[in-house]
Amino acid sequence: MPSRILNAAWGLSLLGYGVLAVWLLAHPASIPTDDAFFFVKGVEHFSVLEFRPHFPGYPGFIALGKLGVFLGGEAQQAVFFLSALSVLSLPPLAAWAAKSNGASQLGALLIFAVTLTQPFLPLVGLSMMSDGTGIAFLLAAFAFWGLGRNGWGGVMAGMALACRPSFLVPVVLAVGAVWFLQKDRQGKLMIGFLGTLGVFFGVVVTLEGVSYFLEGVRFVEGHFMTWGNTALAEDIQRGGWLDSFTREPIAFGCFVALSIISVWSGVRRLEYTPLALAAIGSLLWTLLAQNPENLRHVLLPAVLLSLLMVIQVTKKEAFSLATLILVQASILIPVVLTPVKTSPMEEVIDVLQNYPAGLVISNRGVAYLRSSLNQHRISDAFYKQSTIHLADEFVDGSVWRLIASPGSPKHSSIKAQSFGGRVPGEMSLWLLAQ
């Protein structure tokens, strides 16, 4: 590609990056889910046993959040800005990782643009979760490994797990492959990796004691077999990945297309085994072990698969990625042109605060609702018998049901209020007055 066209493309990409950054950071620090609420509580007072946050504690993310508080912010603001700034670091970090592993200028541009236009990038940025931070450290690890600095790569991989322990499979696969292929630098790699994990999780075990491991057994079993809504669950009550496709067909279709193209491309590049294992491992892990309702989970495999493609990009792959960037940009541009607003959960709370005592039945944000609506009784819809008993007590009072639905609720309620998601992938909420 001529340098003039390449420079113009970089200029356009950087302009889009600036627009996204301004729009994303202009949002209020509003909590969208219980998990985000648990992170905020964890920054205020860390305790895995009290779900501040839940197992395994995310010590790296919490430490960075506490650093934000130390610098003068409130816990909620610190978690929001950490999540948003982590997401904004992903396009340049992806470009750095690509260049460090031998990508051309065109490859660096493509990975910057395809990461920037990821349809679920704003979702992760506004989620107040640790996904973006974990991905950022993992990209830094691949950049250091590409430069031959295995010690720092190990530290970054350890930080990725300390911030996002659910990245265990892709991170361990990548570290294991680097360890196997570069035997002359194994010591530095493992000292950096295991030393970082030892520091962060050693502090957690010291604080929580033996109960930490008992909580881990309970939580892991519950996630995979009971309420985690994974492919391994015994009784899946909620939607699967096909339902997620119907929620966001174009955005999710981009991810499927990227997966197919990059997996086909990656099998011809065995010299990039650590990246290939991490990318394919993250894809399989996401499909099998993550909740399909949370579409933020697809960002990790999307970024890693894109990185795998651009390291030795061919004309066919460049054309495929350029087409994908245009489609993704057509989704993202209308999003960043919309006014900023609070999360659907915050909007629901604002409405309910105007009503006197009543009963709210919900399986979304139960902990956050209980913390914010002291005048109301909050019932977890998962416990059906308890909910029925409480509803009988409010026969003459106000009863609301809060549900998440991609479309109009099929319910016989007299009144329903909708609260739409801010970005692609964010659940809309419906408040039904019964």
pLDDT digits (tens, 9 = 90+) for 339-391: 999 999 999 999 999 988 889 999 899 999 999 999 999 998 877 766 666 66
298 and 359 fall within a common domain = no
Answer whether residue 431 shows pLDDT above 60: yes
pLDDT at 407: 47
pLDDT at 51: 95
Task: Tell which of 308, 336, 364 closes a domain.
Answer: 336
314 and 354 fall within a common domain = no
Domain that holds residue 413: 344-433
CA–CA gap between residue 96 and residue 253 (Å, rounded): 27
What is the average pLDDT across 190-204?
A: 97
Q: What is the DSSP letter of 427?
A: P
Of the candidates 388, 397, 328, 393, which has an alpha carbon nearest to the alpha carbon of residue 361?
A: 388
Answer whether residue 408 shows pLDDT above 50: no
**pLDDT tens digits, 30-50:** 999 999 999 999 999 999 999
What is the average pLDDT across 131-137?
A: 98
pLDDT at 226: 73
Say if pTM beats, i.e. exceeds, 0.75. yes
Region of poorest pLDDT, from 130-144, 158-172, 250-264, 318-332: 250-264
What is the average pLDDT across 305-332?
A: 90
271 and 165 fall within a common domain = yes
pLDDT band at 269 (very low <50, low <70, confident <90, very high): low
Higher local confidence (pLDDT), 393 or 14: 14
What is the torsion angle, in degrees rounded to the nearest 10, for the CA atoms of residue 416, residue 421, residue 427 and residue 430? -10
409 and 331 fall within a common domain = no
pLDDT at 221: 87
Task: Tell which of 336, 364, 399 closes a domain.
Answer: 336
332 and 351 fall within a common domain = no
- Contact present, 230 and 190 (Cβ < 8 Å): no
248 and 219 fall within a common domain = yes
The whole-chain average pLDDT of the chain stands at 90
Element (H, E) at 304: helix 299-310
What is the average pLDDT across 75-82?
A: 97
Residue type, 201: F
32 and 156 fall within a common domain = yes
Task: Tell which of 282, 301, 336 closes a domain.
Answer: 336
- Contact present, 80 and 246 (Cβ < 8 Å): no
Answer whether residue 137 shows pLDDT above 60: yes
First to last CA, the chain: 62
Answer whether residue 396 shows pLDDT above 90: no
What is the average pLDDT across 94-99?
A: 97
293 and 421 fall within a common domain = no
Element (H, E) at 400: strand 398-404
Give how many domains the chain has, as a whole number: 2
What is the average pLDDT across 259-275?
A: 74
pLDDT band at 433 (very low <50, low <70, confident <90, very high): confident
Region of poorest pLDDT, from 7-11, 146-150, 242-246: 242-246
Answer whether residue 393 shows pLDDT above 70: no
pLDDT at 234: 58
What is the average pLDDT across 177-190?
A: 87
316 and 349 fall within a common domain = no
Answer whether residue 406 shows pLDDT above 80: no
Higher local confidence (pLDDT), 385 or 334: 334
Q: Report the interhelical angle of 299-310 vs 249-266 (nearest 10°).
A: 40
279 and 362 fall within a common domain = no
331 and 379 fall within a common domain = no
Answer whether residue 426 shows pLDDT above 50: yes
171 and 237 fall within a common domain = yes
Q: Which two tokens stand for residue 286?
A: 């996401």
Give the chain's count of helices (H) and strands (E): 19, 5
Answer whether residue 114 shows pLDDT above 70: yes
pLDDT at 211: 95
